[in-house]
Structures are given as structure tokens and as C-alpha cells.
Amino acid sequence: MSDDGDPFANLDHVLGFTLPGRHARGRVARLGPVLDTILANHRYSPVLARLLAEALVLTALLGTTMKEMDDQLTLQAHSQGGVVDLLVCDYRAGALRGYVRHDPERLAQMPAMPSLFGLFGKGYLAITFDQALSNERYQGIVPLEGGSLAEAVEHFFVQSEQIPSLVRVAVDDSGKVAGGILLQHLPEGEEGRERLHTRLDHPEWEHVRVIGQTIKAGELADPRLPLETLLWHLFHEEDEVRLLSTVPLARGCRCSMDYVRGVIGRFTPEEQAEMVDEKGFISVDCEFCSRVFPIRPDELQI
Ligand SMILES: [Zn+2]
């Protein structure tokens, strides 16, 4: 994770940290080749590629706050009748994936830099935490508001979860590098417990928030700037910054032939017959990774 000549040394990682003296915690993330690999599975316009890049950074930031290896975090933005009607990203064990469902014809008629509202219209942001050990699932939903997905996620934590939070995401001009930061205030003894009351103007948090707001987009998405150095720039005047372990990121999809067969197997034989193409296969492609699964209907009857 240093600038030792490896052009990818500072990419595809999330670094966690705490500021014990301020009862704050955070994550910084930067994506490079993983982002490129995920985008290469789709043919998105630059606008959608940037939207998905932002969503993937947010998913990595939030996913790595979950405790167990196999916990899963899913970030979904959806709307009815929007140019984009669904965006889904998920994270599990360092693996990221995501896709955007949209109307290409309407997108082509939009201005070059449409707003979040322009893309989704009236939409919702849902964040789902699936805990592997306890098999518990928690989902929070808020209106998709603000100028960006990062703002909507910040709103989610402040309004829905009552956790003072700052979220920033940046994508560089090439669209190939994206980075972000999440800062949260968790007053002593409150982590993991239900919060009955929150103070958004707590002096500890006010201090951390003001520092967090000084971060520049160019630093978040600078592939040459190590994440540790980024944190040093921000917090070198703090008494203590504790670095947590670095989590490497990968592009991962959990689609499989067995899963696809299971889905198609739930249709009636008549419906399956209608799906068969001229070569005799039912072709199903994974929306996350665009992998195509050709299924012979007779395989399903077994
Ligand atoms: Zn897949």
C-alpha cells in the first residue's frame, strides 16, 4: 500500500480506522482494476458508469463495517418510471458486484450531466444488512434525496439510523479510479445498542465532521495517494488514529448454473417451452456479470 512503483498498490482496498479520542470511526476506499472489470461486463454510457462507480465505492465502505466475513451488504436504489429504475450493488467477503437497469433511449435524450433526480425521478434507497452467523436481516429505506448517491447514503444514516455520518465519493476524470470516505460518530458505549437519543451537534462529532469536509475529490480518487497518507493529511493533529486491517477488494459474482436452473425450473413446462431459442436452449444471462447460461430444457426435467 505504498507508492513503490506498483501502479495498483493504492487501489482496490478499504482501510478502516478509529479516532478513539473522538469516538469516531471511518473507512476509506479506493477502486481501480476491480471497477474496470465490473464496468467491462456492461456497456454503460459514461453517466451510468460513474453512477455505478459511486455506488460500488459506497457499497465497499458500508460492507466493510460489517463484522463477520460472510455478512452481506446490499445497496439498492430504485424508482418507478425513472430513466434508471434499478441500481443494485452488493458486498460479501471482499467481493463487489453491481448493475444498473435503465432505459437507453430516454437516457440518450438527457443532458450530459443529469442530476440524481433526473436519472431516478422519485426514488428510494434501500440498504440491507444480512448477518451470516445469526441469519438476521435488517433493511432500512429512505427517499432517494440529495445531489448524489453519497448524499443519499449520508441522509440514510443520519435520518434513519440516527448515526451522525459524513460520506464523500469521487470518480476521477478517466472514470477508471474512484474513492470515498465514510466517517461516523459512535459515542462511548453506544455501538451495537439501540440508540434512543442522538446529538448531531456533539462537539466531538462537529470536530471530525469539519475535518472530513476538507477532503478534496482529487485526493479521494488519486491512484498515487496511499490511503494511509490520505488519513494522515486529515487527522495528523489527533492524539490517536488507530488503523484497522486493510481489506482487499475483488470483483465477485455468485451466479452459478445450479442457481439459474433453479430459477428456470420454477416456470411451468409451457412457459419454459416459450423461452427456448432457435438453437434449442433457454439462455439466461446474469445481470451482475453478463455471464450467459445456456440451459437445455430436457436438463430441467431430471
Ligand atoms: Zn454473475
- pLDDT tens for 223-275 read 999 999 999 999 999 999 999 989 999 999 999 999 999 999 999 989 999 99
pTM for the predicted model, two decimal places: 0.92
Q: ∠ CA(65), CA(234), CA(158), 5° rounding?
A: 45
Q: What is the pLDDT of residue 195?
A: 53
The answer to whether the CB of 40 falls within 8 A of the CB of 69 is no
What is the per-residue pLDDT for 224? Answer: 95
User: Cα(146)–Cα(54) distance, rounded to whole angstroms?
Assistant: 14
User: What is d(CA 107, CA 117) in angstroms, rounded to the nearest whole number?
Assistant: 13
Residue 69 alpha carbon to ligand 1 centre in Å: 20
Q: Return d(Cα 19, Cα 244) in angstroms, integer.
A: 11
Distance 227 CA to ligand 1 centre (A): 30
Report CA(59)–ligand 1 centroid distance (Å). 17
Which residues does the chain have with pLDDT short of 70? 1-4, 188-200, 301-302
Q: Quote the ligand 1 centre to 253 CA distance (angstroms).
A: 5
Could you give the 3-state DSSP secondary structure of residue 119?
helix
Longest dimension (CA), the chain: 69
Measure 65 CA to ligand 1 centroid, in angstroms.
24
